[in-house]
Copies of this chain bind each other. A is one copy, B any other.
Amino acid sequence: MDKIVRIDMGAEGGPKVSTGPLGDYAGFGGRGMTSAIVSKEVPPLCHPLGAKNKLVIAPGLLSGSVAAMSGRISVGCKSPLTGGIKESNSGGQPSQMLGRLGYAAIVLEGKPKDDTLYKVFINSDGVQITPDNSLKMLGNYDLVAKMNAAYGDKIACISIGQAGEQKLSGASIAFTDMEQRPTRHAGRGGVGAVMGAKGVKVIVVDDAGMSKRSPGNPEKFKEANKAFVAGLKKHPVTGEGLPAYGTNVLTNVLNEAGGYPTRNFSSGQFEGAAKISGEAQAEMENARGGEGSATHGCHKGCVIRCSGTFYDKNGNFLSKQVEYETVWSHGGNCGIDDLDAIAQLDRLDDDFGVDTIEMGATIGVAMEGGLANFGDAAAAINLVKEVGQGTPLGKILGSGAAVTGQVLGVERVPVVKKQALPAYDPRAVQGIGVTYATTTQGADHTAGYAVATNILGVGGSVDALKPEGQVELSRNLQIATAAIDATGMCLFIAFAILDQPDTFQSLVDVVGGFLGADMTADDVTELGKNILKMERDFNERAGFTNKDDRLPQFFKDEPLPPHNVTFGVTDEDLDQVFNF
């Protein structure tokens, strides 16, 4: 990973590829790389769809190595959804493959002269970009099938569907999984719209002939990695819960805790939760045969294996095993308790290339605005189909919850920095409320997953219903997360490293062993802080203030059943999250 490839989409005579050394960006990876480039090179007041924005795709520091869990990839830009800096993170195969090909970042720059659509092909011979208007308005599934037909089934694809081509603020970028399916997404913040504005439909990656990246200190690395894997397998969440049921293991847990946002955040418990829980999903999948509930990784090198496959009633592939956030956003959040309908919605989202969290939250707002009744799964499916069809209504919905709320005149719109809240109500899980409010990313659970400590008892215990201790918790998690997001490690390792000091040390040693450097826990903290500072600085220059670090007023005014609690962390305390 010693080079960065830049493609100037606005160059005279057509897109121009140039590959160069890391220069100032040596030592950066993943979120560190994307936020460094965006923060340094993108004018904070530029138009997100304009020539001056850049789309940066960066494997993690360890991607391409044999380090377990190191296959995450970061996508960065100025967000069309939030107007601030964005790092959107995905699994899938491309990160490991780009790492092996030696690319620390792909940077799409400039603005195309016309509406020609381009395809990028990256292999050991270099980077090629060619126009291909035959790809226009293909869904991600058809697109990947076409790429497989052309380039074989050992490739990985990074692509946009109809939503990205329409430059919708809810558009995602899809990353193919181990089965050549576009099921993994850098979902949040409208990164797909920026790829669409750059005129790039797909980046095909083929690492044939490349070998795994070698560690700087092979002995230390190998030993640490072994201990790290053992630690992950030992922890109940990463070793048992996630492999057994996938992320949807959380539905029953959050619902029982009264923190499961139901019908557009009007209640914390959903009467239909059991029907769409991970347990119900596993039972259904087992009954339908196929791989049943057997889980697998979203990329090679995963040992947690929280992914799976969803088969329809006839035993045919429909979508990936639906993630907790999606089961919630399209399920309980919309009053829908039908897993088959939810899986159809997931498939449509992946195919059109929209963020499932934003899309489900948007449908919830649309239901509150009277476009459909809560619980009407058929209506929800039709609404999402509008996005792919590019109708005016589809364009509204594909622009996310904030725009939809404004256009429909809805007051209860669950967004921070215009990005929709994920699947934990901040009134009943106050720590995640602090993260939603203050992260540089707009409401984002992955930016500092306080749910772990508030609800799951991981990394200590802080009462979910009370404001005390939440600021410190969120701060520490946000710092640690930024560092993890730089390594290419999956965030789910956090469960084990928070609870098991040995496993945390193993992680530090895996990184240090790979880089061939002495690393301490303090180095990890410093890395995280530096990334957050770059991001905060960008947002400040883009016009963000502490007034943007607030939850919508209704979380303070409307008590959430069943605990009848409001969000209690004060504004003054929120302003203390970034006190470093």
Q: Which residues of A contact B (CB under 8 A)?
A: 43-47, 49-50, 52, 80, 166-169, 193, 196-197, 391-393, 395-396, 399, 403, 406-409, 411, 413, 541-545, 547-548, 550, 552-554
Contacts and interface: CB of A to CB of B under 8 A. Distances in A.
Given A393-B392, A542-B547, A553 B406 contact: no
A552 B47 contact: yes
Nearest to A552: B47
A392 B391 CA distance: 9
A411 B49 CA distance: 6
A167 B409 contact: yes
Q: What are the nearest 3 A-B pairs in CB distance?
A: A167-B409, A543-B547, A392-B393
A173 to B, nearest CB: 16
B407 A550 contact: no
B409 A166 contact: yes
B543 A409 contact: no
A169 B408 CA distance: 10
A558 to B, nearest CB: 11
A52 B166 CA distance: 36
Contact of A403 (B166, B407, B543, B550): B407
Contacts of A550: 45
A331 to B, nearest CB: 25
Contact of A409 (B197, B391, B396, B409): B197
29 contacts: A43-B553, A45-B547, A45-B553, A47-B413, A47-B552, A47-B554, A49-B409, A49-B411, A52-B553, A168-B407, A168-B409, A193-B409, A196-B409, A197-B411, A391-B392, A392-B392, A392-B393, A392-B396, A395-B407, A395-B408, A396-B396, A399-B406, A399-B407, A403-B403, A543-B544, A543-B545, A543-B547, A543-B548, A545-B545
A19 to B, nearest CB: 28
Given A45-B553, A197-B411, A543-B547, 19 more contacts: A45-B547, A47-B411, A47-B554, A49-B409, A50-B553, A80-B406, A169-B406, A193-B409, A196-B409, A197-B409, A391-B392, A392-B392, A392-B393, A392-B396, A395-B407, A396-B396, A399-B407, A541-B547, A542-B547
Contacts of A392: 391-393, 396
A516 to B, nearest CB: 43
